[in-house]
Amino acid sequence: MKKTLLLLCSLLIAFIAKSQESYPVNGSGDIRSGQFAFINANIVVNADQTITNGVLIIKGQKIESVGAGLAVPKGYVTIDLKGKYIYPSLIDAFSSYGIPETPRAVFAGRGVPVFTSTKEGAYNWNEAIRPEVHAKSIFNVDARKAEDLKKSGFGAVNTVIKDGIARGTSLAVTLSDESVNTVVLNDLTAANYSFNKGTAKTNYPSSLMGSISLLRQTYFDAAWYKNQKKEYNISLDEFNKTQSLPQIFDAGNWEDVLRADKIGDEFGKQYIFKSGGDEYKRIADIKATNGSFIIPINFPKAYDVEDPADAKNVTLAQMKNWELAPTNPAALEKAGINFAITAADLESPRDFWTNLRLAIDFGLTEKQALKALTEVPARILGISDKVGTLAKGKEANFLITSDNLFKKENIIFENWVQGKQYIVAQKDIKDLRGDYNLIIAGVGNLTLKIGGTISAYDANIERTGADSVKTKANFNRTGDLISLFFDLKKNPKGDVRLTGYLDKVSPVTFKGEAVLADGTVSNFTATYTNPIKEKEKKEEPKGTLATGKVIYPFVAFGEAEAPKQEATLFKNATVWTNEKDGILQNTDVLVEGGKIKSIGKGLSAGGAKVIDATGKHLTPGIIDEHSHIAIARGVNEGTQAVTSEVSIADVVESEDVNIYRQLAGGVTTSHLLHGSANPIGGQSQLIKLRWGQTPEGLKFGGNEGFIKFALGENVKQSNAGDFSTVRFPQTRMGVEQVYVDAFTRAKEYRTAWAAYNGAKNKTGLSAPRRDLELDCLVEILEGKRNITCHSYVQSEINMLMHVADSMDFKIRTFTHILEGYKMADKMAERGIAGSTFSDWWTYKMEVFEAIPYNGKLMSAVGVLTGFNSDDAEMARRLNQEAGKAVKYGNVSEEEAFKFVSLNPAKMLKIDNRVGSVKAGKDADLVLWSDNPLSVYAKAEKTFVDGIAYWDIQRDEVKRKEMKAEEARLIQKMLDAKNKGAKTQRPSLERAPLYDCETLEGDFTANGSHSQH
Amino acid sequence: MKKIIYQFIALSLASTSVFAQANIYPAKKQAGTFAIVGGTIHVGNGKVIQNGTVVFANGKITSVKEGNVAPQNVTVVNAAGKHIYPGFIAPSNSLGLVDVESVRATRDAQEVGSINPHVRSLIAYNTDSRVIATVRSNGTLLSQVTPEGGLVSGTSSIVQLDAWNWEDAAYVKDNGLHFNWPSSAAGGGGGRRFGGPVLSEEAIKERYQKQLLELKSYFAQAKAYADTDKPEIMNARFEAMKGLFNGAKKAFVKVNRQKDIIIAVQFFEEFGIKPVLVGAEEAVDVTSFLKEHNIPVIIYQSQSLPGNDDDDVYLPYKNAKILHDAGVLIAMSVDGYWQQRNLPFMAGTAAAYGLTKEEALAIITSNTAKILGIDKTTGTIEEGKDANIIISEGDALDMRTNNVTRAFIQGRDVNLDNVQKQLYKRYADKYGIKAD
Instruction: State the DSSP H helix or E strand holding residue A79, giving kind and residue range, or none if neither.
Output: strand A77-80
Whole domain around residue B272: which residue ranges? 88-378
Quick check: A851 and B201 CB within 8 A? no
For B260, the 3-state DSSP assignment is helix
Report yes or no on A785 lying in a domain.
yes
| pLDDT at residue A107, as a whole number | 52
* Residues of B whose CB is below 8 A from A992: 193
Cβ-nearest to B201 among A556, A557, A985: A985
Quick check: A843 and B310 CB within 8 A? no
> Considering only alpha carbons, which residue of chain B is nearest residue A984?
B201
> Considering only alpha carbons, which residue of chain A is nearest residue B435?
A889
CB atoms under 10 Å from CB of A1, counted, come to 5
Choose from A935, A938, A1003 for mutation: most chain B CBs within 10 A: A935
Choose from B309, B401, B402 for mutation: most chain A CBs within 10 A: B309
Cβ-nearest to A988 among B187, B399, B433: B187
Quick check: A890 and B185 CB within 8 A? no
Beta bridge partners of A684: none
* C-alpha pair distances (Å), A862 with each of A419, A899, B118: 84, 13, 54
- Whether the CB-CB separation of A88 and A66 falls below 8 Å is answered with no
Cβ-nearest to A842 among B131, B185, B421: B131
For B237, the 3-state DSSP assignment is helix
Number of H helices, E strands in chain B: 12, 16
Report yes or no on A837 lying in a domain.
yes
* Residues of A whose CB is below 8 A from B401: 887, 934
Q: Kindly state whether residues A925 and A823 are assigned to the same domain.
A: no
Measured CA angle at A777 (ends A774, A781), to 5 deg: 135
| pLDDT at residue A668, as a whole number | 98
Report yes or no on B197 lying in a domain.
yes
Quick check: B309 and A556 CB within 8 A? yes
Q: What is the CATH number of the domain that holds A512?
A: 2.40.128.120
Quick check: B308 and A990 CB within 8 A? yes
Cβ-nearest to B193 among A966, A987, A1003: A1003
Quick check: B192 and A1007 CB within 8 A? yes
Report yes or no on B348 lying in a domain.
yes
Question: pLDDT band at residue A724, thresholds of 50, 70 and 90?
Answer: confident
The dihedral formed by the CA atoms of A732, A735, A740 and A743, expressed in degrees to the nearest 10 = -150
* Residues of B whose CB is below 8 A from A1006: 195
Q: How far is A882 from chain B (nearest CA, A)?
A: 9
d(CA A172, CA A91): 9
For chain A, give the mean pLDDT. 92
Report yes or no on B75 lying in a domain.
no
A-B C-beta contacts closer than 8 Å: 165
Q: How far is B314 from chain A (nearest CA, A)?
A: 8
Say what percent of chain A tops pLDDT 90: 77
> Considering only alpha carbons, which residue of chain B is nearest residue A931?
B400
Report yes or no on A5 lying in a domain.
no
- For residue B308, which of A232, A313, A476 has the smallest C-alpha distance? A313
> Considering only alpha carbons, which residue of chain B is nearest residue A660?
B313
- For residue A289, which of A299, A298, A297, A279 has the smallest C-alpha distance? A279
| pLDDT at residue A480, as a whole number | 75
Q: What is the CATH number of the domain that holds A887?
A: 3.20.20.140
* Residues of A whose CB is below 8 A from B307: 990
Question: pLDDT band at residue A149, thresholds of 50, 70 and 90?
Answer: very high
Q: Kindly state whether residues A823 and A922 are assigned to the same domain.
A: no
Question: What's the length of chain B?
Answer: 436
* Residues of B whose CB is below 8 A from A877: 303
Q: Kindly state whether residues A564 and A491 are assigned to the same domain.
A: no
Q: How far is A190 from chain B (nearest CA, A)?
A: 31
Work out the burial of residue B374: count CB atoms within 10 Å of its CB; fewer than 13 is exposed, 13-18 middle, 19 or more buried: buried
- For residue A37, which of A14, A11, A69 has the smallest C-alpha distance? A69
pLDDT of residue A401 exceeding 60: yes
Cβ-nearest to B398 among A848, A861, A935: A935
Domain tally for chain A?
4
d(CA A461, CA A474): 10
| pLDDT at residue B420, as a whole number | 97
Q: Kindly state whether residues A409 and A484 are assigned to the same domain.
A: no
| pLDDT at residue A19, as a whole number | 54
Cβ-nearest to B436 among A839, A890, A937: A890
Report yes or no on B273 lying in a domain.
yes
Q: At what angle do helices A732-758 and A794-807 cross, to 10 degrees?
A: 20
- Whether the CB-CB separation of A57 and A18 falls below 8 Å is answered with no
For A730, the 3-state DSSP assignment is coil
Quick check: A990 and B307 CB within 8 A? yes
Q: How far is A315 from chain B (nearest CA, A)?
A: 6
| pLDDT at residue A720, as a whole number | 83
* Residues of A whose CB is below 8 A from B433: 857, 860-861
DSSP strand pairing (A184-194 vs A247-250):
parallel
Quick check: A987 and B130 CB within 8 A? no
Low-confidence ranges of chain B (pLDDT < 70): 1-21, 186-199
Q: How far is B256 from chain A (nearest CA, A)?
A: 12
- Whether the CB-CB separation of A161 and A99 falls below 8 Å is answered with yes
Q: Kindly state whether residues A401 and A513 are assigned to the same domain.
A: no
Cβ-nearest to A313 among B130, B187, B192: B187
Domain tally for chain B?
1
pLDDT of residue A4 exceeding 50: no
| pLDDT at residue A508, as a whole number | 87
Q: What is the CATH number of the domain that holds A616?
A: 2.30.40.10
Backbone phi, psi, residue B419, to 5°: -60, -30
Q: How far is B106 from chain A (nearest CA, A)?
A: 10
Q: Kindly state whether residues A499 and A445 are assigned to the same domain.
A: yes
DSSP strand pairing (A521-530 vs A434-440):
antiparallel
d(CA A788, CA B373): 50
| pLDDT at residue A1000, as a whole number | 61
A34-46 pLDDT, tens digit each: 899 999 999 999 9
Report yes or no on A69 lying in a domain.
no
> Considering only alpha carbons, which residue of chain A is nearest residue B261?
A309
* Residues of A whose CB is below 8 A from B320: none
CB atoms under 10 Å from CB of A513, counted, come to 14
Quick check: B400 and A843 CB within 8 A? no
Quick check: A887 and B403 CB within 8 A? yes
Q: Kindly state whether residues A204 and A256 are assigned to the same domain.
A: yes
Q: Kindly state whether residues A236 and A111 are assigned to the same domain.
A: yes
Q: Kindly state whether residues A309 and A406 are assigned to the same domain.
A: yes
Report yes or no on B288 lying in a domain.
yes
pLDDT of residue A317 exceeding 80: yes
* Residues of A whose CB is below 8 A from B194: 107, 109, 1000, 1003
| pLDDT at residue A9, as a whole number | 44
Q: Of A893, A911, A929, which closes a domain?
A: A911
Report yes or no on B184 lying in a domain.
yes
pLDDT of residue A1005 exceeding 50: no
Tell me A390's DSSP state: -
* Residues of A whose CB is below 8 A from B310: 315-316, 556, 962, 966
Quick check: A935 and B349 CB within 8 A? yes
Lowest mean pLDDT among A436-445, A852-861, B402-411: A436-445
d(CA A730, CA A718): 7
Report yes or no on B34 lying in a domain.
no
Quick check: B342 and A660 CB within 8 A? no
Q: Kindly state whether residues A895 and A832 are assigned to the same domain.
A: yes
A973-1000 pLDDT, tens digit each: 999 888 878 888 877 666 777 887 777 6
Report yes or no on A137 lying in a domain.
yes
* Residues of A whose CB is below 8 A from B99: 842
Lowest mean pLDDT among A316-330, A580-594, B17-31, B316-330: B17-31
* Residues of B whose CB is below 8 A from A937: 352
| pLDDT at residue B294, as a whole number | 98
Q: How far is B137 from chain A (nearest CA, A)?
A: 11
Provide ipTM, 2 decimals.
0.94
Q: How far is A316 from chain B (nearest CA, A)?
A: 7
Q: How far is A860 from chain B (nearest CA, A)?
A: 7
Cβ-nearest to B427 among A555, A557, A857: A857
Question: pLDDT band at residue A13, thresholds of 50, 70 and 90?
Answer: very low
d(CA B223, CA B408): 41
Question: pLDDT band at residue A109, thresholds of 50, 70 and 90?
Answer: low
> Considering only alpha carbons, which residue of chain B is nearest residue A852?
B420
Q: Kindly state whether residues A461 and A563 are assigned to the same domain.
A: no
> Considering only alpha carbons, which residue of chain A is nearest residue B349?
A935
Tell me A429's DSSP state: -
Whole domain around residue A891: which residue ranges? 732-911
> Considering only alpha carbons, which residue of chain B is nearest residue A720?
B102
Report yes or no on A626 lying in a domain.
no
Report yes or no on B123 lying in a domain.
yes
Question: Strand (E) positions, B82-151?
Answer: 83-86, 88-93, 140-145
Based on its alpha-carbon atoms, the radius of gyration of chain B, rounded to whole angstroms, reads 23
Q: Kindly state whether residues A143 and A168 are assigned to the same domain.
A: yes
pLDDT greater at residue A631 or residue A985:
A631
Q: What is the CATH number of the domain that holds B99?
A: 3.20.20.140
Quick check: A887 and B259 CB within 8 A? no
Cβ-nearest to A851 among B259, B349, B424: B424
Quick check: A962 and B310 CB within 8 A? yes
Q: How far is B387 from chain A (nearest CA, A)?
A: 26
Q: What is the pTM of this model?
A: 0.91
